[in-house]
Chain A
């Protein structure tokens, strides 16, 4: 019979085996047999599973450049700070605009007036 002479010590696999290594073999390799209720990983998109796994883990998704939550103020305090400073800057700009509003508004009517003058001719 085929009894092993000696089993080498497991390497990097005992208990703490890397999940990716296990999934790689258990999902991707091994013999595929269609069961009689047709459960067969062949027709399940392994890639989809993998992508979902990545997205399932926030840190890892970030590595992939999926970082929308970083810029969403509802989800990130960092983004909230950014949001505040952005708002602040916007308000300052508008204030400045209002301050010299009298000076800036002048040219606009001038153009309109100019246009109005041209129209009849």
Chain B
């Protein structure tokens, strides 16, 4: 019967009500836990699933993970509609309310700073995919009558391949520069593995942009304008997300080892993609 506290996000107090139907992780409705001028959005989760050991085991269960991740994200989404949440990673669990309060008390300063920085901003995700593989394979089955023809064809396809990547790289860099100029902050994330995402084409840019909510429409238009600009390249926009990719640093600046580590992990994951300039 004992329940633990699952924490979704930290935010400033807000008046707007969350959707009444909203269910959190493990089905319980999220509620607000206020501490000074901060709020933790929490819900109760059963110990049998969320104590350390069972949680670890669950994380390796695709169905469980999918369901939990979607539930987590739906609460964050709902919060993003009414305020600017500082989203926590999946699986942040405390024993009870007082544990959450202690955490809020200890990190109050950092939270306030980060929340101020993120206030009124949302994150947009932009990905560029190169769809070379498919095009190549459709060209390949041309019949060759001689060895020389074969080599010629090999060279042609090799060159086309090369050009394709140069082109994709150029396009991704240019797009990133344009969007970065518009955005307040950016993060380059590791390209998504198509085996994991199930999305066709090779992911050549996987970036996140921090954009004031008020300027989001312009940002979306900016991205839309580049769609279909280059044949063989696909631009994908997701969002608005809570500022997941930008929520790390607040604690990073002088708040003890454990947060420093988190920053390190975030940067590690952000490697790859288009190299920074």
Contact = CB atoms under 8 A, between A and B. Distances in A.
A18 B125 CA distance: 12
Interface residues of B, number: 79
A33 B7 contact: yes
B95 A37 contact: yes
Contacts of A31: 10, 86-89, 114, 247-248, 250-251, 262
A57 B194 CA distance: 13
Interface string A21-54: 1111111111111111111111010101110111
A71 interface: no
B55 interface: yes
Contact of A36 (B95, B196, B197, B220): B95
A12 B224 CA distance: 13
Contact of A29 (B4, B89, B102, B238): B89
Contacts of B89: 26-27, 29-33, 41
Interface in B157-205: 189, 192-199
A116 B16 CA distance: 102
Interface of A: 1-8, 10-13, 17-42, 44, 46, 48-50, 52-54, 56-57, 60-61, 63-64
9 contacts: A13-B77, A19-B197, A22-B70, A23-B69, A29-B245, A29-B247, A37-B4, A38-B52, A44-B59
